[in-house]
Amino acid sequence: MKRAHPPAFAALAVGVALATQGCGSTFDPYNQLEGFRLLAVRAEPPTVAPGATATIDALVYEPDGPGTTYAWSWCPVRTGADGAYECAMSEADFKAELEAVGVPVDSLTFDLGTNETATFAYPLDPTILALICATAMGPPGAGAAGLLHCDQGFPVSVGLTVRYGDKEISGFKTLRLALDAAAPANANPVLTDLSVAEAKGTRADAAVLPAGEPTYTMVLGEKYELFAEVPEAAAETFFGTTTTGIAPTEQREVLFITWFVDGGSTAHQRTTFFEGTAGFDRLVHNTWTLPQPEELGRDRARLVLVLRDNRGGVAWLRRDVLVGRP
Amino acid sequence: MLHRRHHHHWLATGAAVVAALSVAATAEAAELTAPAARQGYYLGGGVNGVAVRSVDRDLGAFAAAYGSSYALRVGEMLTPWLGIGLEVGFGQAQSSRWRSQFGGLLLDAQANVWKNLALHAMAGLGAVMARDKLGRVASAKGTGGALYGAGIGYDFFPLHTEGSGGFGITPSLQGRYCPGSSFHAAMVWVGLDLYWWRGLDKQELELPAAEAFTGKKQG
Amino acid sequence: MNHSFITFGLTAALLIGSQARAQEAAPTAPTPAPAPTDDGPAISKMPELERFVEAEYPARAAAARIEAIVILEIDINAAGGVDAVRVIEPAAATGYGFDEAATLAASKFEFSPAEAGGTPIPVTISYKYGFKLKDAPPPAEPAPHVPVLSFSGLLLERGTRAPLAGATVTVFQGEGESAHGLETTSDNEGRFSFFDLTPGEWKVLCDPEGYFPVRTAETVAAGEVVEVVYHVEKRSYSPFDVMVEARRPKKEVTRRTVTTEEIEKIPGTFGDPIAVVTNLPSVAHTPFGSGALIVRGSSPADTIINVDGTNVPYLYHFGGIRTAIPAGMLQYLDFYPGNFSPYFGRATGGVLDVKLKRLQPEKANGYIDASFLDTGVFFSMPLGDKAAIAIGGRRSYLDVLMQQVIPKDGPVTLTAAPRYYDYQLMASWRPTPDQELSLIVFGSDDRFAIVFNNPADAAGIAIPEIKTASRFYRGILSHRLQLAGKTTNELKLTLGWDEQIADFGPGRYIHQDYFSPQLRDTASFAVADALQLKVGLDWLLYNATWDVSFRRPPMEGDSIADNNSFDTGGISKTKIDRKVVSFPAAFVEAEWTPIPEVTLLPGVRVDYFDWIHETVYDPRLTARWRLSATTVLKGGAGVFHQAPQADQVDQGFGNPDVRAFWAYHYSLGAEHQPLSFLNVDVTAFYKDVRDVVVLSDALIERGGVQVPERYNNNGRGRVYGMDLLVRHEFANGFFGWLAYTLSRSERRDNRSNGFRRFDYDQTHILTALGSYRLPHNWEVGGRWRYVSGNPYTPVVGSKLDLDADTYQPVTGKVNSARLPAFHQLDLRIDKRFVYDAWMLSAYMDIQNVYNQRHTEGWSYNYDYSQKSGGGDLSFLTIFGLRAEF
């Protein structure tokens, strides 16, 4: 019997790689908005009750004004890297399988339209979904190998392809179908406000940025403290496994905010709330260093914050600010 | 195999002793070196005048900067013509816009090609950093990593009359190059060094009998 | 001549006439005269001294009032003349010349011949010749002169304190014609002495071969003894000078041996034994610090590493930074890239056998070794005549360095900086010359813990911390017995314990604990003149405890998408408590020499893999044909089985129905030795690996339920190529080798359509290295390598994972692209400073001298639309120091 890979080296390699991530990185960071981007997709509600529908919309960054085209779809099972993240089976095959067991499929379609928002209706009888979950999870104690984890609902994948000019981005998001209408379901987290203070300032000194037309002016080349407004209740407590397949326990959601800026840099690309390790104060605070005067040719800058929980919930806000020379 | 008993051998005549010694001496002569100034370990240091030319990927070539540097060298002559040692050097240079500082630790191999003329080849670690005196560029430009060099020098031994080792004065000329992906610099050093050559141990030197058979260790 | 003495000869010969003895035709060596009746005819008339010759009394003795008696044996011929004189008992006072004077005088004696029956015959008589002083007070004999010690010394080799035996020491005075002196030779312990030197200054010369001459002067005073110790310096302290040339006879198709002296001199390896193996042919180049041995297209897990024949699961700190056994504890290592003997099993790749030092210290010795990574110490000493002991240890200070380098408010906090230490204890005892008992204990301990201040800051990874601790201990007790003829037996009992703990936040951890005893017995004996048999037992047991909740381990063929994030593939769990798994094995190998030029080694090994309930048989054959004194043709073929890895068979992580896999090895080659120090070895090889364990996405039915298969035996491997090694043994101050491998290795698995390139399929691997000894104890070494780039799976697009907020790469055909070739020059300089009782060595190791940028892998931007190369350290300079006594 040969042992499993010595984890120590893998751990050290990861650790060193992450520790030195800041140094010598030649690429633009993920949270730098330059060119067309697809930033998030939100489903309201993120877990759909039997018989209910969800409204799905997307957050895009359009540098040269509106002009994005959308193509929505959904898929019961999506392949991984070796399948290029395409749907594991075509719509025709899926319908054929269901018809073979006597499930009505006339209104079933993977296509969700080409509008800016999409509407997704609970597609099948929840008992059928429960049956698929039970057979695919394997015998108890064997440890599910990432096949299907249904304690938060049956996962389906919503796909979106957006086009803007000659650029195309494809993405996919998990949508949960609740098997039991009565069970507590996930809700999207809440991100209400963003406040700004000068360098080294605190939340008490911060001024709230208004939505819509910008009024706050920032000085190019300077640092500013950013404070997001997220209620602690947004990190829900739930009972279950997460996508990592740990035995069901009572646990708190992990929240993280990705801070997108279209100029300058932030101290953190993402901030996290992880109960026991990183607190709420870590989640909501970041520092933005505005670009040098010669690097930005506009009179305004944009911030986009996307807040996610680790159960598919999404929230976002956009704020613009005026920028001036020192 | 040798036994414990003392084995005395009364040598009949002085001629035999001389013969024995001369035989030993010819065996020595093949491997012992005649004493000279430029032998053994060396320790030296000096001052140099420096000219630096730097090129930055974004800002282009800088104007030549002039300054000075100090160097400390230590090493050993392995054979009369080959020596290896280490060099530590640091210095600074300025042009109208940039102030540069540089330093390095190099492995130095030298070939004594003709009399006291030596050619050097060097490789090691070094760094160059330049700052904008006018403040237009906030961050320092520079590079660190490999450093290569080549040089030539001639040793003068004004005080040396006999024996192995001694003090010497060496005028030298060196070129250096510090490569980098976004910044690289080339330098020319002209300097004067003072060296102390320790000389070889007495046991390695070819000496007349009167000097060889003393209780001293040095030549 | 002074005639103030009387010489008298005792015609006691006549009194001792009975002692006269007739001469034989051939005179024999002088013996005490026996009874004459035994020898020749009866003597009727004894010889009579007619003419006595007075000897010259030695002047010095007369002046010193010394008398003497010399007993001679004289051969008298039939005419009464003296044919020969021998000294039977010399004068008590030696060095005055009594014997010579007596001999000279006696040779001129004239006798009337002895007669036997009226006829004159030759006889041999004893004769006592005395020297007596006329005025001497009658006494007893003058007191014999005892030589007086004037000057005594000890010759030791500088630096090693080894005594110089057999060296000639000369003391002399005066110059030119009037020079006079004495000469003596040092004994086994390096001691020499001179007696009766007149007081004054004496010049001393000692000029042994291979050393610098000692030329000095000492002053001898009357009544005092001058005692000195001379530390004589060798002309060169290269360790190669003391290397024993004994070459073990070659039986294998390919066995490559590297000694400790060579290991320590190869640039770029920091004296690390396992890193050195990557400079031999048939071993692929791996990025810095990875510690994996990839031999002829095998995965790292397919090659085993043994220490003195005992299996060791891994031998590195942190997976690749440093070997857990310092080079100072090793004697040499043997590397078999394939077709190895049935003595080794449970591997389909290669075997690295690390041999620890056989302790035989003549005196206490040791060293302290400091480098930028760690400091180690070693000490060994003899215990009486038959036993010896050694201890060693090493500790890193990477933790101290890293704490300086990592910024305080950076993305990570070091809760426990990485540190490792290892320690070794060796003892050996030879109760009788044919037995040896030895004990080796070694252990290693690594620890490392960091906390990520923003767990989600880095794309896709949501782990808050990494905490690892690894420890292992091994104790090997072995008994070697050498009986008459070529019969030997080696018994080895090993006890081992391994513990690995890794935590990556809640729900992700690996805890493993193994207790592994191993019993090995190998007996070798001659069955007939040309047939030697080797029989062995190899029983390995594991008592394992696991508690794992983690993603599956990386596999060969994985692409960047598979290894992208800790979340990919999900988490599996398993738990085992004190499970005993047994791997018994037995083997037989014969060495048959049907004709003197041909050696055949057929053998078979049987293994039982308890975990998967499988018995496997490995027949193997090696043949060597000596064509001439300098050329050998060799070949081999064999079957090599290996059990799947533990996690591949585990219920929670893998597939319990996975079977053992195996490989056919074929090799054919030749060895040629054009010069005594030059060896050329070419081997062509072909390897066919079957039933390789590979990943599977299929769903199968087990126990009535659909479960993911995870692994199956559908894989296949194919490797072919040739390797060349031109080796220059240490001669003329130089050692080095040129290694070249040309190969192609392919795999087929469930994802690929047909054969695809192996992860480490490096078409060309060229290593040229050498070390040259310069005067004054300098050594310069260099190494140049050229390696084809590794294949990689290209990224052809990306998709945005909106849940994890990261892009996922879309990959093309597995290993269909190739990284650029790699080449690098490394340099190493060593200098040894020699002092009377110890030596200091300093070295400088410069890697990548011409600063070539390598691409060991690609790094991509966030959406995989751009990539840049990198991943290896360029231009690195390392210093080290070692003090040894």
CATH code for the domain of C159 = 2.60.40.1120
B49-61 per-position pLDDT tens digit: 999 998 888 788 8
Which of residues C237 and C870 earns the better pLDDT score?
A: C237
* Yes or no, beta carbons of C611 and A1 under 8 Å apart: yes
What local confidence, expressed as pLDDT, does residue B9 receive?
Answer: 37
> Which of A1, A13, A282 minimises the CB distance to C581?
A1
- pLDDT bucket at C246, cuts 50 / 70 / 90: low
* Yes or no, beta carbons of B215 and C216 under 8 Å apart: yes
**Chains sharing 3 or more CB pairs under 8 A with chain B:** C
* Yes or no, beta carbons of B212 and C827 under 8 Å apart: no
Q: Is residue C624 part of a domain?
A: yes
Mean pLDDT of chain B: 81
Of C183, C203, C232, the residue that ends a domain is: C232
Residues C91 and C214 in one domain: no
pLDDT at C827 over 60: yes
Residues C93 and C169 in one domain: no
Tell me which chain C residues have a C-beta less than 8 angstroms from the C-beta of B126.
none
> Which of C314, C554, C800 minimises the CB distance to A170?
C800
Distance between CA C451 and CA C565 in Å, rounded?
A: 17
Question: 2.40.160.20, 3.40.50.300, 1.25.60.10, 3.40.50.1860: which CATH number matches B41-203?
Answer: 2.40.160.20
Q: Residue B26 corresponds to which amino acid?
A: T
Angle at A114 between CA A112 and CA A115, to 5 degrees: 100
Find the closest chain C residue to A58 by CA distance.
C802
Q: Is C449 on the interface with A (CB under 8 A)?
A: no
* Yes or no, beta carbons of C172 and B24 under 8 Å apart: no
**Average pLDDT of the segment spanning C668-695:** 94
Interface test with C, best of A3, A31, A156 (most C CBs within 10 A): A3
What local confidence, expressed as pLDDT, does residue C241 receive?
Answer: 59
Which of C335, C131, C166, C158 is CA-nearest to residue C233?
Answer: C158
What local confidence, expressed as pLDDT, does residue C289 receive?
Answer: 55
* Yes or no, beta carbons of A170 and C462 under 8 Å apart: no
Q: Is C749 on the interface with A (CB under 8 A)?
A: no
Tell me which chain C residues have a C-beta less than 8 angstroms from the C-beta of A252.
none
Residues C57 and C202 in one domain: no
Q: Which of A7-16, A23-32, B157-166, C104-113 has the lowest mean pLDDT?
A: A7-16
Residues C736 and C758 in one domain: yes
pLDDT at A12 over 70: no
Q: Is C418 on the interface with A (CB under 8 A)?
A: yes
- pLDDT bucket at C411, cuts 50 / 70 / 90: low
Of C232, C248, C275, the residue that ends a domain is: C232
Distance (Å) from the alpha carbon of A107 to chain C's nearest alpha carbon:
27
* Yes or no, beta carbons of C179 and B145 under 8 Å apart: no
**Alpha helix ranges (H) inside C570-703:** 646-649
Cis peptide bond prior to A45, omega within 30° of 0: yes
Which structure tokens are listed for A187? 């809700």
Q: Where are the domains of chain B?
A: 41-203
Tell me which chain C residues have a C-beta less than 8 angstroms from the C-beta of A143.
571-574, 652-653
Tell me which chain A residues have a C-beta less than 8 angstroms from the C-beta of C406.
19
Distance between CA C219 and CA C223 in Å, rounded?
A: 12
**Average pLDDT of the segment spanning A260-281:** 86
Tell me which chain C residues have a C-beta less than 8 angstroms from the C-beta of B204.
212
Helix (H, G, I), strand (E, B) or coil at C758: coil
* Yes or no, beta carbons of A7 and C550 under 8 Å apart: yes
CATH code for the domain of C49 = 3.30.2420.10
What local confidence, expressed as pLDDT, does residue C410 receive?
Answer: 64
Which of C374, C379, C375 is CA-nearest to residue C363?
Answer: C379
Mean pLDDT of chain C: 84
pLDDT at C587 over 90: yes
DSSP string for residues in B80-105: SSEEEEEEEEEEEEE-SSEEEEEEEE
Q: Residue C299 corresponds to which amino acid?
A: S
**Average pLDDT of the segment spanning C484-510:** 87
A185-199 per-position pLDDT tens digit: 888 999 999 999 988
Q: Which of C200-214, C462-476, C670-684, C763-777 has the lowest mean pLDDT?
A: C462-476
- pLDDT bucket at A142, cuts 50 / 70 / 90: very low
* Yes or no, beta carbons of A136 and C706 under 8 Å apart: yes
Q: Is C233 on the interface with B (CB under 8 A)?
A: yes
Q: 582-641 in C: which are within 8 Å (CB) of A?
A: 583, 609, 611
Q: Is B82 on the interface with C (CB under 8 A)?
A: yes
Largest CA distance in chain B: 92
* Complete domains list, chain A, with CATH: 7-177 (2.60.40.10), 193-324 (2.60.40)
- pLDDT bucket at C600, cuts 50 / 70 / 90: very high
Residues C459 and C386 in one domain: yes
Asked if C387 and C361 touch (Cβ cutoff 8 Å), the reply is no
Find the closest chain B residue to C189 by CA distance.
B4
Find the closest chain B residue to C216 by CA distance.
B213
**Average pLDDT of the segment spanning C201-214:** 90
Which of residues A242 and B12 earns the better pLDDT score?
A: A242
C345-400 per-position pLDDT tens digit: 999 999 999 888 888 777 888 999 898 778 999 999 999 888 999 999 999 887 77
pLDDT at C462 over 60: no
Of C177, C206, C232, the residue that ends a domain is: C232
Asked if A285 and A302 touch (Cβ cutoff 8 Å), the reply is no
Q: Is C851 on the interface with B (CB under 8 A)?
A: yes
Distance (Å) from the alpha carbon of C220 to chain B's nearest alpha carbon:
14
> Which of A14, A81, A271 minimises the CB distance to C811?
A81
Which of residues C41 and C545 earns the better pLDDT score?
A: C545
* Yes or no, beta carbons of B14 and C774 under 8 Å apart: no
pTM to 2 decimals?
Answer: 0.77
Q: Is residue C329 part of a domain?
A: no
Which of residues A27 and C220 earns the better pLDDT score?
A: C220
Domain span including residue C375: 354-884
Residues C431 and C382 in one domain: yes
> Which of A1, A41, A254 minimises the CB distance to C542?
A1
Residues C60 and C8 in one domain: no
Instruction: State the virtual CA torsion across C261, C265, C269, C271 in degrees, nearest 10.
Output: 40
Distance (Å) from the alpha carbon of A270 to chain C's nearest alpha carbon:
5
Asked if C739 and C721 touch (Cβ cutoff 8 Å), the reply is no
Residues C629 and C732 in one domain: yes
Interface test with C, best of B8, B79, B122, B216 (most C CBs within 10 A): B8
Q: Are strands C374-383 and C387-396 parallel, antiparallel or unpaired?
A: antiparallel
Mean pLDDT of chain A: 81
Asked if C127 and C93 touch (Cβ cutoff 8 Å), the reply is no
Distance (Å) from the alpha carbon of A241 to chain C's nearest alpha carbon:
10
Find the closest chain C residue to B208 by CA distance.
C215
Distance between CA A141 and CA C652 in Å, rounded?
A: 8
C718-777 per-position pLDDT tens digit: 999 999 999 998 888 898 999 999 999 999 988 777 899 998 899 999 999 999 999 889
Interface test with B, best of C100, C164, C180 (most B CBs within 10 A): C180
Tell me which chain C residues have a C-beta less than 8 angstroms from the C-beta of B13.
180
* Yes or no, beta carbons of C775 and B79 under 8 Å apart: yes
> Which of C454, C498, C800 minimises the CB distance to A278?
C454
Tell me which chain C residues have a C-beta less than 8 angstroms from the C-beta of A277.
451, 455, 464-465, 505
What local confidence, expressed as pLDDT, does residue B86 receive?
Answer: 92
* Yes or no, beta carbons of C874 and B145 under 8 Å apart: yes
**Average pLDDT of the segment spanning C803-830:** 89
Which of residues C644 and B138 earns the better pLDDT score?
A: C644
* Yes or no, beta carbons of B214 and C875 under 8 Å apart: no
What local confidence, expressed as pLDDT, does residue A135 receive?
Answer: 65
- pLDDT bucket at C31, cuts 50 / 70 / 90: very low
Residues C11 and C70 in one domain: no
Look at chain C and report how many structural domains it folds into.
Answer: 3
Q: Residue A263 corresponds to which amino acid?
A: G
Tell me which chain B residues have a C-beta less than 8 angstroms from the C-beta of C217.
213-215
What local confidence, expressed as pLDDT, does residue C120 receive?
Answer: 87
Tell me which chain B residues have a C-beta less than 8 angstroms from the C-beta of C193.
6
Give the phi and the psi of residue C175 in degrees, each rounded to 5: -135, 160
Q: Is C835 on the interface with B (CB under 8 A)?
A: no
Find the closest chain B residue to C203 by CA distance.
B213
Which structure tokens are listed for C630? 């300098």
Query: By percentage, how much of chain C surpasses pLDDT 90?
Result: 37
Contacts (Cβ under 8 Å, ≥6 apart) of C204 = B213, C169, C170, C171, C214, C215, C216, C217, C218
Distance between CA A320 and CA A213 in Å, rounded?
A: 7
Query: By percentage, how much of chain C surpasses pLDDT 70?
Result: 88
**Average pLDDT of the segment spanning C704-714:** 85
Q: Is residue C297 part of a domain?
A: no
B140-174 per-position pLDDT tens digit: 788 888 889 999 999 999 988 888 888 999 999 99
pLDDT at C510 over 80: yes
Distance (Å) from the alpha carbon of B78 to chain C's nearest alpha carbon:
5
Which of residues C248 and B37 earns the better pLDDT score?
A: B37
Q: 119-148 in C: which are within 8 Å (CB) of A?
A: none
Residues C469 and C534 in one domain: yes
Tell me which chain C residues have a C-beta less than 8 angstroms from the C-beta of B123.
827, 846, 849
Which of C187, C173, C183, C222 is CA-nearest to residue C206?
Answer: C183
Q: How many CB pairs under 8 A join A and C?
A: 231
